[in-house]
């Protein structure tokens, strides 16, 4: 429609000239048929609510799927601010880690207004796939997140409400009548939390979901061709049938000249999605799925040797099986031009379970013993509440515990730490199960802390690296060491080191560690 004609028609209809036309998508509750409608709205009466854009999730794949949408979300929120929309960032249970931020403090100054109950919102149960998209090697739950994704931009005039009452007070103060929801995880947080879609719809707000900027609490079963993308599609369709209309935020902004088609904002999505800092550990061969759902028609090209993919690299045609340790890299192209950001996947195949040691390291005296602190004059001043390596206990005196299993023998340390022992002629192999100690999960399920432990274990024989683990995280399976000792070897060093991101909470366990004797 010509701009002048549109302005004239808006004026005749009594709609402000600033109004934008949104294409709303719903579905027939019985047939599922798509129904499109258009609504003209003054953007100054629109709020955009970003729910639980966290910096961590107990599921590594879920964490990376949040990471994948943040670049696109930043573009949309920047445009929303330019259009005069009110942006609300709602990280729910970690919102008060932002006390002192003006965006949070401003909420407390709002007058308290009783929240009406206008609409009785009911709907059938929403599809829920369980929250873990890592397949057989399922992640274990914890509350490790401590804030929003570090790349999510916070605008000067944004607000950080947490409750239905706080959002309602903002809506009344700013004259908001419509709310657009973006964020995670659709059928759990974005729907059901106090500031979520159901609560605000019941208070009389016109709520809609941005279907291109959300992700469901995921699941993954490649045998049934069930992927996190399919899970999200099913949840979005459920919203459209029973709860609220959806918009395609990118398309709406493109209509307004606020979205550049040449922007590259979407990485290729990997399932399961291990990374070098949080690798996917597996025992049996795994099936990997690559997708680019927001770039239809794009060709995904990938490599499995760690080299950068090009438009001539292997074309992804269907899920593939990995049977060994692999560093995956993937980019999507259209017409030879990259239309997706590069993604990488890190997968580590674990060895067979080692035998129990004949000689436990806890029964031996180390010739060198250094830990987390200052070493001066041959002695160590240990930092904070860190202790010297502990025999048969965690470094803080609890049970040795890795991946929900307690081990009776071993050494509990805090990285960085090295234990060095003399090698006796009868020692044939060094064996151990090494992992991040998980006792912190016993307190508030690891609230705010479970994201921090990240340890690399290494074994040195006479100063040369003989074996190493990938980065080990809390509640990851223990890494299995079974290292042959060469004839004539003199010293073995057992190193636990931080993974390059600092040593906060890097408590680590050498469980069932020791030597197998020659027969």
In a domain, 25, yes or no: no
Position 406 scores a pLDDT of: 97
In a domain, 429, yes or no: yes
Same domain, 230 and 97: yes
In a domain, 300, yes or no: yes
Same domain, 400 and 313: no
Same domain, 296 and 165: no
* Segment-wise mean pLDDT, segments of 10 residues, the chain, 519 residues: 47 63 97 97 98 98 98 98 98 97 98 94 89 92 97 98 98 98 96 95 98 96 95 97 97 97 97 98 97 96 97 98 98 96 98 97 95 86 92 97 96 97 98 97 96 98 98 97 98 97 96 96
**For residue 296, what are the contacts with CB-CB under 8 A and spacing of at least 6?**
none
* CATH value at residue 465: 2.60.120.1060
Position 4 scores a pLDDT of: 43
* CATH value at residue 200: 3.40.50.850
Same domain, 313 and 448: no
Same domain, 242 and 277: no
In a domain, 281, yes or no: yes
Q: At 208, list the tokens.
A: 């809609």
Same domain, 197 and 98: yes
In a domain, 282, yes or no: yes
In a domain, 470, yes or no: yes
Same domain, 281 and 218: no
Position 426 scores a pLDDT of: 97
Total of domains in the chain: 3
Out of 306, 324, 349, a domain closes at 349
* CATH value at residue 338: 2.60.40
Got the DSSP string for 441-474? Answer: GGTGGGTTTTT--EEEEEEEETTEEEEE---EET
Whose tokens are 């607000």? That residue is 159
Same domain, 380 and 472: yes
Same domain, 153 and 202: yes
Strands 46-51 and 86-90: parallel
| 462 torsion bin: left (phi>0), alpha (psi -120 to 50), beta (else) | left
Same domain, 56 and 174: yes
Position 9 scores a pLDDT of: 53
Out of 300, 327, 349, a domain closes at 349
In a domain, 3, yes or no: no
Out of 330, 349, 368, a domain closes at 349
Q: Are 323 and 340 in contact (CB under 8 A)?
A: no
Rounded to whole angstroms, the Cα distance separating 63 from 67 reads 6
> Residue 99 burial (CB < 10 Å; 0-12/13-18/19+)?
exposed
In a domain, 28, yes or no: no
Position 13 scores a pLDDT of: 54
Same domain, 446 and 473: yes
Same domain, 144 and 206: yes
Asked whether the whole model's pTM tops 0.75, one would answer yes
- List the domain range (segments joined by +) for residue 477: 359-517
Position 11 scores a pLDDT of: 47
User: pLDDT, tens digit, for every residue of 385-415?
Assistant: 899 999 999 999 999 999 999 999 999 999 9
Whose tokens are 């050494």? That residue is 411
């Amino acid at each position: 429609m010509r701009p002048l004609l549109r302005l004239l028609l808006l004026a005749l209809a009594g709609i402000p000239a600033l109004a934008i036309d949104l294409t709303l998508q719903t579905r027939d509750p019985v047939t599922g048929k798509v129904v499109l409608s258009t609504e003209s709205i003054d953007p100054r009466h629109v709020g955009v609510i970003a729910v639980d854009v966290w910096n961590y999730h107990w599921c590594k794949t879920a964490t990376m799927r949040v990471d994948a949408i943040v670049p696109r979300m930043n573009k949309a929120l920047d445009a929303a601010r330019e259009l005069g929309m009110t942006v609300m960032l709602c990280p729910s249970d970690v919102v008060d880690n932002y006390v002192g931020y003006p965006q949070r403090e401003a909420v407390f100054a709002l007058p308290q207004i009783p929240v009406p109950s206008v609409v009785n919102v009911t709907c059938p149960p929403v599809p829920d796939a369980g929250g873990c998209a890592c397949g057989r090697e399922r992640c274990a739950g914890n509350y490790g997140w401590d804030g929003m994704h570090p790349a999510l931009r916070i605008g000067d005039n944004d607000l950080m409400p947490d409750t239905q009452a706080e959002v309602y007070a903002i809506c009344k103060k700013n004259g908001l009548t419509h709310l657009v929801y973006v964020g995670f995880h659709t059928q759990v947080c974005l729907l059901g939390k106090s500031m979520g879609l159901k609560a605000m719809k019941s208070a009389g707000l016109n709520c809609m979901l941005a279907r291109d900027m959300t992700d469901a609490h995921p699941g993954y079963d490649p045998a049934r061709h069930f992927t996190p993308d399919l899970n999200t599609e099913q949840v979005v369709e459920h919203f459209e049938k029973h709860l609220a209309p959806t918009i395609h935020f990118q398309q709406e902004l493109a209509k307004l000249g606020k979205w550049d088609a040449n922007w590259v904002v979407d990485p290729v999505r990997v399932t399961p999605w291990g990374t070098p800092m949080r690798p996917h550990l597996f025992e049996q061969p795994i099936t990997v799925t690559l997708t680019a759902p927001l770039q239809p028609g794009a060709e995904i090209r990938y490599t499995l040797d760690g080299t950068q993919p090009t438009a001539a690299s292997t074309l992804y045609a269907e899920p593939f099986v990995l049977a060994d340790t692999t560093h995956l890299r993937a980019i999507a192209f259209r017409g030879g031009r990259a239309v997706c950001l590069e993604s990488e996947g890190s997968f580590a195949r674990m060895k067979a379970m080692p035998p129990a040691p004949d000689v436990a390291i806890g029964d031996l005296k180390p010739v060198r013993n250094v830990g987390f602190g200052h070493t001066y004059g041959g002695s160590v001043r240990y930092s904070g509440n860190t202790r010297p390596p502990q025999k048969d206990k965690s470094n803080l005196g609890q049970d040795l515990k890795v991946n929900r299993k307690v081990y009776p023998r071993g050494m509990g340390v805090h990285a960085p730490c090295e234990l060095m022992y003399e090698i006796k002629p009868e020692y044939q192999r060094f064996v151990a199960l090494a992992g991040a100690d998980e006792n912190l999960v016993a307190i508030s399920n690891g609230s705010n802390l479970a994201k921090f432990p990240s340890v690399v274990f290494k074994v040195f024989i006479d100063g040369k690296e003989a074996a190493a683990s990938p980065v080990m995280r809390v509640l990851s399976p223990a890494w299995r060491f079974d290292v042959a000792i060469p004839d004539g070897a003199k010293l073995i060093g057992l190193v636990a080191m931080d993974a390059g991101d600092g040593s906060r909470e890097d408590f680590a366990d050498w469980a069932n560690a020791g030597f197998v004797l020659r027969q």
